[in-house]
A and B are shown apart, each in its own frame.
Chain A
Amino acid sequence: MSYADRLRAEMRRHSTKRIALTLALTLLGLSCAAQASAAHVFKIRDEGHLHFIKSSGSQLIDEGHSSGTFPGIARVRFTYNGNPIVAAQFTIYGRYGTIVGRANGRLSNPTSTSPSLRGSLTITGGSGRYAHASGGGELFGVFYRRSYALTVQTIATLHY
């Protein structure tokens, strides 16, 4: 075998090693990224039963327990001034921190004693483990006009 042949064989062996190493590193990287991504996405499916705390004009503050995949205490500032699109700001106090956000929904049948509402929510931040939380989802609920209580179901995706 000539010197040139030996050199070519050596290069092929090194090249194969490099490819294998690159592939291994890429796979490791992808795996880590997938794990990191999975750890920061959380599907929320909760139901909250909130009771009236206080009011100021057309703004109500309700609070209560939420149960489901993100259990905690929910506090909602709910504004209903006649427009069928109602708005709310919420804070959910969970075990590892809070998530805060805003929501709006459309009330159907507002003259009934308990009109239902449907809308969307946006998670805008939080504290503790959820300090950089974001996300969004849907909400469904009922507003009790006699007691000013709220029952809210949420299906949302939380990124943190």
Chain B
Amino acid sequence: MAISRACAALLVALALWLPGIARGAQSARISAAFTPKRLGAATTVRMGFRLTGYAGHVHAPLTGLDFHYPADLGIITSGLGVATCTPTQLEADGAAACPPNSIMGHGSAEVQVPFGGEVVHETASIVLVAGPSENGFLRLLACATGLTPVAARIVMPTLLIAGHLQISVPLVASLPEGPDVAVVSVQVTLGGRLTYYEQVQGRTVAYHPKGVTLPKRCPHGGFRFSAAFSFLGGGRAGAQTAVRCPQRG
């Protein structure tokens, strides 16, 4: 009797586990941090995610990301992105061709590149740039540039809708007609030590934009972030995190 119950439990466990293997199930973890973490003060916002595939398997390529952040985070009023760069300009020549006042942040991404039977890791640099507005919304362009083994530059536009970023990730082939590269992790920092320029009495003067301002009140449970990931083949994963409220005093 006890043996048959154990067998049944094992079968249920297998039934739950096997579809995950068949789809190459992925899991995700996201991170967020404010530096400095002081309510009401200007800060840099560091956000990232890491995707984990089924042990020993190549990740399915990421195709989309829905990212939610606190809507009252002062990203729009940060003074970041007071000039714009077009996606075409960015894709052709990179962020160096964009006005300095359009740069909003930096980051990096780790991708898996399948080569024959091997999987090679590549690190791509990311620049966050302000793009032309659309229907009155500010547009953020995330430009990722990888050099070796796959040299590619992709530009992913997203509208800065309060508390929500929706990004479509284009597929990048490792070799012509080869499998697509797969994103493993991304880390970006919004703000930071950026240098902008302005005209003061006919002279060009450098300054540092203030950066994202934290609200004066911290919500119960901290500042919540969540993300939903979609993968080639229809797989999905989700994750959430919260930046804990700073301690008083």
A residues sitting closer than 8 Å to B (CB atoms) are: 54-60, 80-85, 106-113, 145-146, 148
Contacts and interface: CB of A to CB of B under 8 A. Distances in A.
A58 B79 contact: no
A146 B133 contact: no
| A contacts with B: majority SS | loop
B216 A57 contact: yes
Contacts of A106: 136
Nearest to A107: B136
B77 A58 contact: yes
Given A81-B71, A83-B162, A57 B135 contact: no
B51 interface: no
Nearest to B198: A146
A82 B70 CA distance: 12
Contacts of A58: 71-77, 162, 213, 215
A84 B213 contact: no
B165 to A, nearest CB: 10
Given A56-B217, A60-B77, A110 B72 contact: no
Nearest to B214: A57
B109 interface: no
Given A57-B214, A111-B81, A111-B84, A81 B76 contact: yes
Interface residues of B, number: 33
| B contacts with A: majority SS | loop
B130 interface: yes
Nearest to B84: A111
Interface of B: 40, 70-77, 79, 81-84, 130-133, 135-139, 160-163, 198, 213-217
Nearest to B199: A113
B82 A55 contact: no
A60 B215 CA distance: 10
Given A57-B216, A83-B161, A111-B132, A146 B77 contact: no
A57 B215 contact: yes
Contacts of B79: 145-146, 148
A55 B133 contact: no
Given A84-B136, A107-B136, A111-B133, A56 B216 contact: yes
A112 B132 CA distance: 9
A110 B133 contact: yes
Nearest to A145: B82
Contacts of B84: 111
B213 A55 contact: yes
B77 A80 contact: yes
10 contacts: A54-B40, A57-B215, A58-B73, A58-B75, A59-B72, A82-B75, A82-B137, A82-B160, A84-B137, A113-B82
B208 to A, nearest CB: 12
Nearest to B101: A113
Given A82-B76, A111-B130, A145-B79, 20 more contacts: A55-B213, A56-B72, A56-B74, A57-B215, A57-B216, A59-B74, A80-B76, A80-B77, A81-B71, A81-B72, A83-B137, A83-B162, A84-B135, A85-B136, A111-B81, A111-B131, A113-B82, A145-B77, A145-B82, A146-B79
